[in-house]
Amino acid sequence: MKTHWKLERTPDGIGWLHFDHADSPVNILSTEAFEQFDGILAEIEADPPKGLIILSDKKSGFIAGADVKNFRNAQQPDQVEAHIHHVHRIFQRLEDLACPTLALIHGFCLGGGLELALACDYRIARDDQGTRLSFPEVRLGIFPGYGGSVRSVRLLGPIPAMKFMLGGRSISGRSAKRLGLVDQTAPERQLKHAASQLINSPPPPHRPAAWQRLLNISPARQLLSPILHRATAKKVRKAHYPAPFALIDHWRDTGGNEQVMFASEATNLGQLITSPTAQNLIRVFFLQERLKSVAAGIDFKSQQVHVIGGGIMGGDIAAWCALKGQRVTLQDREAKFLTQAINRAHKLFQRKLKSKRLVQAAMDRLMPDPRGYGVKHADVVIEAIYEDLEAKQTLFRDLESTVGPGTLLATNTSSIPLESISESLENPERLIGLHFFNPVAKMQLIEVVSGRETDPLLMQKGAAFSRSIDRLPLPVRSSPGFLVNRILMPYLLEAIELLGEGVPGPLIDKAATRFGMPMGPVELADRVGLDICLAVANKLAPVFNLEVPEQLHVMVDQKRLGVKTGGGFYRYEKGKAIKENPDSQFHAPNDLADRMIFRLLNEAVACLREKVVEDEDLLDAGIIFGTGFAPFRGGPMHYIHSGGLTRMRQRLNELEQLHGDQFHPDSGWTNLSGA
Ligand code: NAI
């Protein structure tokens, strides 16, 4: 039998319950972990220590949450409910122990892990950057169901608790202390001492302020829940993400009676977990794990990065790498770009790190290097100079003779085939692409690009490097537009085509956001820059037989390039698009969303046929993390399969008849599994 828990009794009478899940780098609440925990609680009931301290032996943190695998493909609400009731009983057992109980938290304390901690009388968190507490459930289309909704309302008061659960954001130990979620914070070296002291003289457990408790009475709940509904509706659509709305209703209807609230948690979770939304979001969770695992087992540790080209991309890539702990040298042939890049980096560090000391340390890791001295010492060199083949070839030819034999050589090109750049190299197998997305600090994906000759081992090193700077690597084959830009382009072009047909931009954008895109395509084009859109479209158009709408040429000729020139398809005030209300007489065609989305889907099928990525899951992952494609739909390929292959293809045929060749189904449709 694998043992995940170990109870140690120290001479002072305190029980230290160590959690160290076997065969897993992080602690998760697997079925087996729960069963063993229950057994140990029975032992403790029979012979209670002076106090019980629950702690993790994993370096990564306390507990990362429930075992999401258990919920994958869940179809029976009553089975989910039974599981929830079972866990409620175990946590109740913990809460009912005769001795004081304390959760000693370091690193990640998420979801079910936090719910376990809440069933203890006290919580102490390590005071450092790496300690994060959160209820991420709403991101999986559910809400805290192991008693978390009940105990957090009890501990914090309804409004702070609801905000914390609805937001799904993670907070540090210090913020958790301010919120009342933990009783104390302590630095690493004093953690255990603080815990035993608290057990030796336990204070009364934390309670919310009296006025907060008042807000939990029924009339207050009836009054406050519509306000929470409205605030949530500003962020997400109920039709797409029902969980936060269900959480508010659950509190409104049952918040005054804990027993009823526990029961309502179970019924709600049964419904939510088995819904398509949660199942698709759980799918996205595993897609993310899949991307993370691309680099698993690769022994490549980079400490020093050299970035060449300090423009928008190079400057931001350098800043991001320094933020994530790399020593970075940044080279540009013009000093003014280096100055701008360092200033932008400083703002990023302030935003992300907050503490002066940490900002200074990050600044110290980022060095302007106009002469490129850093090249010789770098583990990774990333080229991000302007998009010009000859310039890139010359640069790499020089680099090849300067860098060390183990240095990873990467280009951030967005459209030049790797094979063309590597022509200038004596060892063309050395070049990989690391294609970052703009804005670098926001976009999680990096396309790791292999040319025909690229050494596969270097691709894996590229993926490992991406992980080390907390990014998700997607292996793609060098082909025009790689995966993300290629799939996005027909969708954007169709939107611009619609504009040309006289459909108002706001209606086009609305159709896309109703579908679940994070931003409408017209606004997206303005934000990317219409000149950049045109340049990419011009590169892809001849290869993929795309028509570039006249409207796009006109806008670029008139130098209306989008946000950066103050206006493109929309006007911008303080960075916000001004979207005029369309003429009320205008009736939008009812196939707006289909026209845009089906072009994207058709291109996705073409990319699979050409093996730009290896399989459907990687494609879905790339498009979700690279474009924000409606996560609750599980990705373009999953959306095709959910709609039914035959029906989806038929729809494409209809669109072809109505609107032309651009909807002609790619031949890859016949190869899809299930076709
Ligand atoms: P940019 O024009 O803002 O920056 C290029 C920088 O490189 C300039 O500061 C320039 O002075 C410098 N530079 C040019 N030749 C140099 C040389 N030989 N040595 C040192 N510095 C040199 O361009 P941007 O937008 O940052 O793009 C850079 C690369 O990233 C391009 O390959 C582009 O395709 C790619 N990319 C751009 C994205 C975007 O959204 N802008 C997204 C993803 C990739």
Q: Is 137 a catalytic residue?
A: yes
Residue 415, pLDDT score: 85
What is the 552 CA–ligand 1 centroid distance (Å)?
A: 23
Average pLDDT, the chain: 95
> Pick from 166, 255, 164: which is nearest to 213 by CA?
255
How many CB atoms within 10 Å of residue 193? 10
From residue 223, give the alpha-carbon distance in Å to each of 157, 167, 215, 238.
16, 20, 9, 20
Report the pLDDT averaged over residues 123-141: 95
Tell me the pLDDT tens digit for each residue of 347-358: 999 999 988 999
Q: Which ligand 1 atom lies nearest to the CA of residue 316?
A: 26
Tell me the pLDDT tens digit for each residue of 214-259: 999 999 999 999 999 999 999 999 999 999 999 999 999 999 999 9
Q: CA angle, 296 as apex, 293 and 299 as ends, to 5°?
A: 155
Question: Residue 307: which pLDDT band, with cuts at 50, 70 and 90?
Answer: very high
Structure tokens given for 231:
């605030």
> Does the CB atom of residue 335 touch ligand 1 within 6 A?
no
Q: Evaluate if residue 2 carries a pLDDT over 70.
A: no
Residue 354, pLDDT score: 85
- The residue type of 155 is L
8 Å CB contact between 173 and 185: yes
Tell me the pLDDT tens digit for each residue of 627-646: 999 999 999 999 999 999 99
Q: Is 115 a catalytic residue?
A: yes
> Pick from 600, 606, 612: which is nearest to 516 by CA?
600
Structure tokens given for 498:
């619609």
> Pick from 256, 230, 274: which is nearest to 82 by CA?
274
Residue 94, pLDDT score: 98
Q: Strand, coil or helix: what is 412?
A: coil
Q: Evaluate if residue 551 carries a pLDDT over 70.
A: yes
Question: Residue 564: which pLDDT band, with cuts at 50, 70 and 90?
Answer: confident
Question: Residue 574: which pLDDT band, with cuts at 50, 70 and 90?
Answer: confident
Please pick, among 32, 43, 137, 501, the residue that the annotation labels catalytic: 137
Question: Residue 584: which pLDDT band, with cuts at 50, 70 and 90?
Answer: confident
> Does the CB atom of residue 438 touch ligand 1 within 6 A?
yes
Phi, psi at 572, each rounded to 5°? -125, 130
Q: Evaluate if residue 650 carries a pLDDT over 90.
A: yes
Phi, psi at 370, each rounded to 5°? -60, -25
How far is the C-alpha of 608 from the C-alpha of 619, rounded, in Å? Answer: 8
How far is the C-alpha of 136 from the C-alpha of 116, rounded, in Å? Answer: 15
Question: Residue 129: which pLDDT band, with cuts at 50, 70 and 90?
Answer: confident
What is the 308 CA–ligand 1 centroid distance (Å)?
A: 9
What is the 190 CA–ligand 1 centroid distance (Å)?
A: 48
Structure tokens given for 435:
């294609």
Residue 575, pLDDT score: 86
Give first-to-last CA distance, the chain, whole Å.
45
Q: Which ligand 1 atom lies nearest to the CA of residue 314?
A: 26
How many CB atoms within 10 Å of residue 664? 13
How many CB atoms within 10 Å of residue 590? 8
From residue 580, give the alpha-carbon distance in Å to each of 427, 506, 570, 596.
55, 7, 9, 22
Percent of the chain with pLDDT over 70: 100
Kindly state the DSSP code that residue 275 receives in the 8-state scheme. Answer: S
Q: Which ligand 1 atom lies nearest to the CA of residue 411?
A: 32
> Does the CB atom of residue 314 touch ligand 1 within 6 A?
yes
Please pick, among 81, 115, 497, 603, the residue that the annotation labels catalytic: 115
Report the pLDDT averaged over residues 263-290: 97
CA contacts within 13 A on the Cβ side of 511: 21
How far is the C-alpha of 351 from the C-alpha of 345, rounded, in Å? Answer: 10
> Pick from 101, 468, 414, 48: which is nearest to 294 by CA?
468
Residue matched to tokens 């008693």: 147
Question: Residue 458: which pLDDT band, with cuts at 50, 70 and 90?
Answer: very high
Residue 394, pLDDT score: 97
How far is the C-alpha of 628 from the C-alpha of 526, rounded, in Å? Answer: 17
How far is the C-alpha of 368 from the C-alpha of 328, rounded, in Å? Answer: 8
> Does the CB atom of residue 414 touch ligand 1 within 6 A?
yes
Q: Which ligand 1 atom lies nearest to the CA of residue 438?
A: 40
Tell me the pLDDT tens digit for each residue of 147-171: 999 999 999 999 999 999 999 999 9
Report the pLDDT averaged over residues 458-480: 97
Q: Evaluate if residue 320 carries a pLDDT over 90.
A: yes
Structure tokens given for 608:
């699979």
Ligand 1: which residue has its CA nearest to atom 3? 311
Structure tokens given for 146:
């192991």
- The residue type of 70 is N
> Does the CB atom of residue 447 touch ligand 1 within 6 A?
no
Percent of the chain with pLDDT over 90: 92
Q: Output Rg (C-alpha) for the chain, integer angstroms.
A: 27
DSSP run (H or E) holding 5 = strand 5-9
> Pick from 466, 551, 461, 558: which is nearest to 501 by CA?
551
Residue 1, pLDDT score: 59
8 Å CB contact between 401 and 425: no
